Amino acid sequence: MKKNKKSIAFITGITGQDGAHLADLLLKKGYEVYGGFRRGGLNKMWRLDFLEITAQIKLVEFQLDEPQHIIDLFKKIQPDEVYNLAGESFVADSFDYPCHTMEINAHGVVNILEAARLVSPKSKMFFASSSEIFGYAEKNGGLNEQSTRKPCNPYAISKLTADHFVRLYREKYDMFACSGILFNHEGPLRSRHFVTRKITYNIARLKLGDQKYFELGNMSSARDWGSAVDYVSAMKMMLEIDNPSDFVISTGELTTVRQVLEIAASYVGFDPIFEGSDEHEACIDKSSGRVLAKVSSKYYRPFDTAPMLGDSSLIHKRLGWHAQQGVTSMIESMVAADLYRRKQGMTDV
């Protein structure tokens, strides 16, 4: 019997957007939270610092490709819940490093499942999957748990492989293991590598005096964008049901890059209008004539995924989960956070 009566959660990828928000949620629920981070990851604690929770987390160095280390860790802490949010997450990079992507995203999941099976079989486990697994599948309405999977990049293939292993261990060994098929989700802790944060970061920069416009790829590109805070709430709820199952987590609404830019620019007082088309499109502040953003073909994605709309009817029905924050509120919160950080001199996160 555990001496500590608190429930114990272990989160891989705790320094990322989802890991930080999930840790915050679990701490507020009274959990003892362990967080795994990669070697050299101590310089990436800014998200945990921003939420003011770093000191409350038991941080451990963690590698998904070191199975014995995972076994030793699970044997020691006996986690009640495991959330695997770590992995390689950039689709474009997966074409350059397909073997590494498969090793971390698929084999890493097997390492966690095996460790739990061997030394911590009662642990409830959540694995972060991706809407990318649907790929080029025919889309007649929203994509749900029954939709055809037709992945079109190494990242998506690695995630779908992991999903199959999660299902196998759930059925073969009667383990509580489930995958959340996550559509795009954003928030103030997003990395600047992602287009939503690129927009909010640069709009804050322009609002606070910088004059140089920034460049974007295809402004008509669209995603089913939701809030990271909402999505980690769904992760927690998935481990509270009696019978584990996989769920699509989405909003069911498409938003274009152009709309994200318009929301962000309007929030800080610009009057955005769009002129031109395709590679010649630009966003201009109507009141001053100032160019805020331009399209550049160098940011076009050669392997961009077509717009995908999620259908989360199952998780609505079985768990009662619904997205609480709309895209406008979410983007505005991101701009507000970027304005705050820039005023505090935090321009490198």
Q: What is the pLDDT of residue 1?
A: 45
Sole residue written with tokens 């997450």: 89
Pick the range with the lowest mean pLDDT from 142-156, 171-185, 246-260, 289-303.
Answer: 289-303
Query: What are 93-126's pLDDT values in tens digits?
Result: 898 999 999 999 999 999 999 999 999 999 999 9
Token pair recorded at residue 331: 């983007």
State the number of CA atoms in the 13 A half-sphere of 229 facing the CB: 14
Share of the chain above pLDDT 70, in %: 97
Cα-trace Rg, the chain: 21
Q: What is the pLDDT of residue 4?
A: 54
Token pair recorded at residue 113: 């499942």
Are both 8-183+227-249 and 186-223+255-300+325-343 of the same fold?
no
CATH of 186-223+255-300+325-343 given 3.90.25.10, 2.30.30.40, 3.30.1330.30, 3.40.50.2300: 3.90.25.10
Fold for domain 8-183+227-249? Rossmann fold (3.40.50)
Q: What is the pLDDT of residue 348?
A: 87
CA 52, distance to chain mean position in Å, is 20
pLDDT over 80 (residue 40): no
Q: What is the pLDDT of residue 247?
A: 98
> In the sheet that 272-275 helps form, which strands lie side by side, from edge to edge?
214-216, 290-295, 282-285, 272-275
Q: What is the pLDDT of residue 5?
A: 81
Hey, how many other C-beta atoms are within 10 angstroms of the C-beta on 212? 8
State the number of CA atoms in the 13 A half-sphere of 49 facing the CB: 8
310 in Cβ contact with 251 (< 8 Å): yes
Query: What are 227-245's pLDDT values in tens digits?
Result: 999 999 999 999 999 999 9
What pTM does this model have? 0.95
Please report which confidence band the pLDDT of residue 271 belongs to, taking 50, 70 and 90 as the band edges. Answer: very high
Domain boundaries, the chain: 8-183+227-249, 186-223+255-300+325-343
The three-state secondary structure class of 225 is coil
Q: How far is CA 175 from CA 67, 128, 178, 285, in A?
A: 18, 17, 9, 55
20 in Cβ contact with 51 (< 8 Å): yes
CA 167, distance to chain mean position in Å, is 21
Phi, psi of 9 (to 5 degrees): -120, 140
- Determine the Cα–Cα distance for residues 316 and 318; give it in Å rounded to an integer: 6
Share of the chain above pLDDT 90, in %: 87
Residue 192 CB partners (closer than 8 Å, separation 6+): 198, 201, 349
| Distance spanning both ends of the chain, measured CA to CA | 42
Query: What are 186-228's pLDDT values in tens digits?
Result: 999 999 999 999 999 999 999 999 999 999 999 999 999 999 9
